[in-house]
Amino acid sequence: MPTITHLSVRDIRFPTSHTLDGSDAINRAPDYSATYVVLTTDAGDGIEGHGLTFTTGRGNELCVAAVQSLAPFVLDRRLTDIRADPGAFWMDLVSDGQLRWVGPEKGVIHLATAAIVNAVWDLLAKRAGLPLWKFLVELQPEEIVRAIPFRHISDALSPAEALEILRRGQDGRAAREAELRATGYPAYTTSSGWLGYPDGKLRQLARAGVAAGWTHFKLKVGANLDDDVRRAQILREEIGEDLALMVDANQAWDVDEAIRAMDALAPFRPVWIEEPTSPDDILGHARIAKALEPYGIGVATGEHCHNRVMFKQLFQARAIGYCQIDSCRLGGVNEVLAVLLLAAKFGVPVCPHAGGVGLCEYVQHLSMFDFVAVSGSVDGRIIEYVDHLHEHFVDPVRVRGGRYLVPEAPGYSITMKPESLARFAFPDGPAWTEASEGHGVPTAADVAGVGGVS
Amino acid sequence: MPTITHLSVRDIRFPTSHTLDGSDAINRAPDYSATYVVLTTDAGDGIEGHGLTFTTGRGNELCVAAVQSLAPFVLDRRLTDIRADPGAFWMDLVSDGQLRWVGPEKGVIHLATAAIVNAVWDLLAKRAGLPLWKFLVELQPEEIVRAIPFRHISDALSPAEALEILRRGQDGRAAREAELRATGYPAYTTSSGWLGYPDGKLRQLARAGVAAGWTHFKLKVGANLDDDVRRAQILREEIGEDLALMVDANQAWDVDEAIRAMDALAPFRPVWIEEPTSPDDILGHARIAKALEPYGIGVATGEHCHNRVMFKQLFQARAIGYCQIDSCRLGGVNEVLAVLLLAAKFGVPVCPHAGGVGLCEYVQHLSMFDFVAVSGSVDGRIIEYVDHLHEHFVDPVRVRGGRYLVPEAPGYSITMKPESLARFAFPDGPAWTEASEGHGVPTAADVAGVGGVS
């Protein structure tokens, strides 16, 4: 009966803003970062649970602090108790009568919740000797239902409905698992289309992407419509008429502005417009979706959709054609399961948000579980792929010919190499102390004032 | 041209959980707390800007840390620049390309934004020698419009529409101001109905409230429906048939459960049901509102409505009959102005959330500005009042016969006494060091585990 006896949390940051990798209309110079959690037990077997939440630099310190504030709710728990009622464990974590005021279930505190919850699932899967997707596939439908927080979504999905979907998902499971192992899971690339890249680099990366077997390409838009049109033209020229193109505005537009901009981008036949406006604007997304229906352009959102209640409404309002769950914006695996089941009920394909640091490693497990045990389909489904920072992981994703290969190592694939954790520790790791002597790491003081704080 | 040269931030907590003051279905044992900000300038006149964000105890440390993370965006600003374009100042504060990831505009980072923004407005009003409500009344409609962040709400309210509403609000302004000074602004009391109070205390406090001239009483519900019915019965008995009763579930119910519970509470004729379900559930609130229409019971929410985009949708969906703005859940005065204008456009009365610590002091200014210069009406409008912790403020609210008297001191009335700041500093102030030797202050370790964190 191992008990969780220790939690450590680290502030890990990669100076990605130097190269404008990851730049878009809103996130102009992100330093991809992780609030990195390790859980240890008294089992004496050396098996640890690792989990992280992804951020873009400044603000990571707040998620680290929030993990510390939440630590008492995971420490001293027996793994058998968590296994027996994983939903109750999750609800405890988000229900403290004082801490929930600074959420509830959103922002800093919920990002921190995800790091802890994902570390717990990593620990459970590692102890079972299974990759997370397979660990979930092996759980009974009743066990999955027990892991799901139904609070505030029961008007759209009852436990009985979830159970029925999961029981249906048992049919043909073995065949789908075999298919997955044989062919992998479809992916798309965002690596060519960052907003900060000059036209020549966009063209060259798109060409390389086609050569590497990619079939779906995403372009960042939203800063300037003339630029967006020119860049969409370049991308369409390079990928030809048969491959797919998606656009992503990262919340840059107001509702009417989004509709006007997409009128201008429609000729390039994007499959979807991602994050056209505020992530909180369910009714706004619904209006945009209705306006773009004649073009056959779907609305996609999710990387900033902060909990299951928001996704519930996006489904109820028919506001999205693609559900882009984020593995650590939602409160970790338990809440992701809730959204996978909601998506299945409403018939909306799940296409997870990835990139950042560790998100590709995480979400491959979620999509594969969805395919094998929930939706049973890859139609209209595709996982984002971004080609950087994978070298820091012990079990990095493997992508071949535009498809994710099945992860085989036990756990959630999120364990980072000790040397990476040491090198990119913020602010004292060598990657930061050396950089700040060199080309000047941007700090809050660089972007704004330098007066005194106490 | 004074410049903001220093920001200090303190963690202030009051051990209110000892008495169950403030207890409700979700917030069972809050320690009312404040992330307390002081801005100083180089003017040499000793005038400081004070602002706080309210929390319920644990988690306050996160808001303190977030203020520190945001400090560079307010330091070294000249007050003339803020005055010239207060909307641009506000947008800068919420738009950092890295920090916004951990929001955006929600949770810890937005609560921290409010403390800073409110401190800036307190500073501006103090320098003008006016109480904040009067400072706002004296601004030209064009200046108010410049302070409002229209981003992501322009589909519901354009700057031109806001200007028109404010220009209409100029008519009869002097008469309304005179009326306000003569009679004050209507209030209701929550002090009698906390969930943790036994029936006898509820009865006795209700009786005392009637004797003191209160006309509106709020009851906490949502933990157990039988208890709710019994307590509503007691309150109705004590206040009679002519006075008004409201109920507040603090998010305890799912959507269908809320409708069923209100069927049972309808005989006691509540004016509104407050926070029936998740604060994020716009469509859920709309369904509940529709179901309760035949009873004449309105839906109220707002203390957890995290930004103007959420309020916009609550209005668009006709989900609320009462708009309960929170002075520090929204990102301070600028965003409150946006919601006051949205509410005026949609014809929904604003009834601010108060109580906590400092919220009564804050919101009186907002309602009074709304009456004099925006909605021009007190019909259906009422400010919450809770009778504790006012003694810690330099200019506490004054309530007589169930009405808020007009605040006259310059600023936003949120400056705390130095001795209170010293005594309730957490965790090292005497209120905490003495208490923890005495009757045992609840810490995170008390509510959960005690394992190791690093």
Chain-chain contact of A75 with B448 (C-beta, under 8 angstroms):
yes
Q: What is the pLDDT of residue A302?
A: 98
Mutate to test the interface with B, among A14, A54, A62, A353 (most CBs of B within 10 A): A62
Number of C-beta neighbours around residue B383 at 10 A? 26
Q: What is the pLDDT of residue B342?
A: 98
DSSP-derived secondary structure for B83-96: HH-HHHHHHHHH--
Q: What is the pLDDT of residue B29?
A: 86
Q: What is the mean pLDDT of residues B76-83?
A: 97
Does residue A19 surpass a pLDDT of 80? no
- CA-nearest residue to A17 within chain B is B98
Q: What is the pLDDT of residue A144?
A: 98
Chain A nearest C-alpha distance from B270 (Å)? 23
- Going by pLDDT thresholds of 50, 70 and 90, the confidence category of residue B359 is very high
Q: What is the mean pLDDT of residues A414-434?
A: 97
CA dihedral B100, B102, B106, B108 (to 10 degrees): -120
Interface check A30 vs B, CB under 8 A: yes
User: How far apart (Å, rounded) are the C-alpha atoms in residues B337 and B163?
Assistant: 12
Options B220, B285, B306, B392, the catalytic residue: B220
- Going by pLDDT thresholds of 50, 70 and 90, the confidence category of residue A23 is confident
Closest partner CB to B449 (pick from A76, A154, A277): A76
What are residue A341's phi and psi, to 5 degrees? Answer: -70, -40
Closest partner CB to A310 (pick from B280, B312, B451): B280
Interface check B307 vs A, CB under 8 A: yes
Interface check B111 vs A, CB under 8 A: yes
Interface check A427 vs B, CB under 8 A: no
What are residue B208's phi and psi, to 5 degrees? Answer: -65, -35
Chain-chain contact of B98 with A281 (C-beta, under 8 angstroms):
no
- Least confident interval from A223-232, B238-247, B430-439: B430-439
pLDDT digits (tens, 9 = 90+) for A124-134: 999 999 999 99
Chain-chain contact of A55 with B101 (C-beta, under 8 angstroms):
yes
pLDDT digits (tens, 9 = 90+) for B265-309: 999 999 999 999 999 999 999 999 999 999 999 999 999 999 999
Three-state SS for A210-255 is HHCCCCEEEEECCCCHHHHHHHHHHHHHHHCCCCEEEEECCCCCCH
Interface check B434 vs A, CB under 8 A: no
> Average model confidence (pLDDT) for chain B?
94
Taking a contact as any Cβ pair under 8 Å apart, which residues of chain B between 130 and 149 contact chain A? none
- Residues in chain A with CB shorter than 8 Å from the CB of B444 are 69, 71-73, 96
Does residue B193 surpass a pLDDT of 90? no
Tell me the percentage of chain A whose pLDDT exceeds 70.
95
Q: What is the pLDDT of residue B437?
A: 46
Residues 6 or more apart whose CB falls under 8 angstroms from that of A282 comprise A310, A313, A314, A317, A319, B282, B283, B313
Options B110, B285, B306, B353, the catalytic residue: B353
Q: What is the pLDDT of residue B393?
A: 98
CA distances from A50 to A40, A144, B125 (A): 9, 21, 50
Chain A nearest C-alpha distance from B408 (Å)? 31
B152 annotated active-site: no
**SS3 state at A299:** strand
Mutate to test the interface with A, among B10, B108, B158 (most CBs of A within 10 A): B108
Interface check B160 vs A, CB under 8 A: no
Does residue A444 surpass a pLDDT of 50? no
- Going by pLDDT thresholds of 50, 70 and 90, the confidence category of residue B442 is very low
Q: What is the pLDDT of residue A451?
A: 53
Does residue B34 surpass a pLDDT of 90? yes
- Going by pLDDT thresholds of 50, 70 and 90, the confidence category of residue A106 is very high
Tell me the percentage of chain B whose pLDDT exceeds 70.
95
- Going by pLDDT thresholds of 50, 70 and 90, the confidence category of residue B1 is confident
* Number of cross-chain residue pairs from A and B with Cβ atoms under 8 Å apart: 285
Q: What is the pLDDT of residue A448?
A: 40
Chain-chain contact of B155 with A317 (C-beta, under 8 angstroms):
no
**SS3 state at B143:** helix
Chain-chain contact of A59 with B102 (C-beta, under 8 angstroms):
yes
Of B117, B111, B175, B113, the residue nearest B377 (C-alpha): B175
Mutate to test the interface with A, among B10, B453, B454 (most CBs of A within 10 A): B453
User: How far apart (Å, rounded) are the C-alpha atoms in residues B376 and B165?
Assistant: 10
Taking a contact as any Cβ pair under 8 Å apart, which residues of chain A between 280 and 299 contact chain B? 280-284, 287
- Going by pLDDT thresholds of 50, 70 and 90, the confidence category of residue A249 is very high
Does residue B56 surpass a pLDDT of 90? yes
pLDDT digits (tens, 9 = 90+) for B114-134: 999 999 999 999 999 999 999
User: How far apart (Å, rounded) are the C-alpha atoms in residues B126 and B169?
Assistant: 24
Chain-chain contact of A92 with B280 (C-beta, under 8 angstroms):
no
Does residue B451 surpass a pLDDT of 60? no
Residues 6 or more apart whose CB falls under 8 angstroms from that of A150 comprise A87, A157, A158, A159, A162, A338
How far is CA A313 from its chain centroid?
19
Of A66, A106, A276, the residue nearest B103 (C-alpha): A106
pLDDT digits (tens, 9 = 90+) for B313-354: 999 999 999 999 999 999 999 999 999 999 999 999 999 999
Q: What is the pLDDT of residue B448?
A: 39
* Backbone Cα Rg of chain B: 21
Number of C-beta neighbours around residue B177 at 10 A? 18
Of A252, A249, A245, the residue nearest A297 (C-alpha): A245
- Residues in chain B with CB shorter than 8 Å from the CB of A450 are 72, 75-76
Q: Decide if B426 contacts B60 (C-beta within 8 A).
A: yes
For residues A454 and A382, which has the higher predicted lDDT (pLDDT)? A382
Q: What is the pLDDT of residue B28?
A: 75
Does residue A211 surpass a pLDDT of 70? yes
Chain-chain contact of B73 with A283 (C-beta, under 8 angstroms):
no
B365 annotated active-site: no
- Going by pLDDT thresholds of 50, 70 and 90, the confidence category of residue B27 is confident
Chain A nearest C-alpha distance from B172 (Å)? 35
Q: What is the mean pLDDT of residues B375-387?
A: 95
Q: What is the pLDDT of residue A197?
A: 86
Q: What is the pLDDT of residue A194?
A: 80
Q: What is the pLDDT of residue A350?
A: 98
Interface check A8 vs B, CB under 8 A: yes
Q: What is the pLDDT of residue A435?
A: 64
Q: What is the pLDDT of residue B454?
A: 64
Q: What is the pLDDT of residue A193?
A: 76
Does residue A388 surpass a pLDDT of 50? yes
Closest partner CB to B5 (pick from A277, A283, A452): A452
Chain B nearest C-alpha distance from A250 (Å)? 11
Mutate to test the interface with B, among A155, A301, A308 (most CBs of B within 10 A): A155
Closest partner CB to A451 (pick from B76, B447, B450): B76
- Going by pLDDT thresholds of 50, 70 and 90, the confidence category of residue A439 is very low
For residues A315 and A452, which has the higher predicted lDDT (pLDDT)? A315
Options A220, A285, A365, A392, the catalytic residue: A220
For residues A399 and B1, which has the higher predicted lDDT (pLDDT)? A399
Options A126, A306, A353, A365, the catalytic residue: A353
What spatial distance separates the first Cα and last Cα of chain A, rounded to whole Å? 46
Q: Decide if B220 contacts B197 (C-beta within 8 A).
A: no
Number of C-beta neighbours around residue B47 at 10 A? 17
